[in-house]
Amino acid sequence: MNNFVVDLEYLVPLEQIEPYMDGHMDYIVRGRDLGLFVSWGPKVPRTGGVIIAQSETRAELEAFCNTDPFVVEGVSKMAITEFVARRPITHKQ
């Protein structure tokens, strides 16, 4: 399993992000349920968000990330960076 940081950056003011928030959170839950997303949350200050993800391949993760309503609607861009975890990522709920 490969580890990734997904960095979302808003391209529009926060008020224009809000209409897509429910769909984005549904997408986050789907990512968690598929075992792709380990942790996530907004940046401080709130200029976007960060997702810690795991995937067999970068292509698999990219394909899923491209379904995020923020990306589909063009209100956010996304950068994916692979990293080598020195400590195992555990998924606790």
pLDDT digits (tens, 9 = 90+) for 10-44: 999 999 999 999 999 999 999 999 999 999 999 99
User: Which CATH number belongs to the domain containing residue 23 in this structure?
Assistant: 3.30.70.1060
CA distance 31 to 26: 9
Print the domain residue range for 37.
Answer: 2-83
91 is a domain residue:
no
How would you class 26 by CB atoms within 10 Å of its CB: exposed for 0-12, middle for 13-18, buried for 19 or more?
Answer: exposed
CA distance 87 to 15: 38
93 is a domain residue:
no
Count of structural domains within the chain: 1
Per-residue pLDDT for 93 more than 60?
no
Q: Span 70-81, mean pLDDT?
A: 98
Say what the pTM is.
0.91
pLDDT digits (tens, 9 = 90+) for 40-71: 999 999 999 999 999 999 999 999 999 999 99
Q: Which amino acid is at 89?
A: I
89 is a domain residue:
no
88 is a domain residue:
no
69 is a domain residue:
yes
Per-residue pLDDT for 87 more than 80?
no
45 is a domain residue:
yes
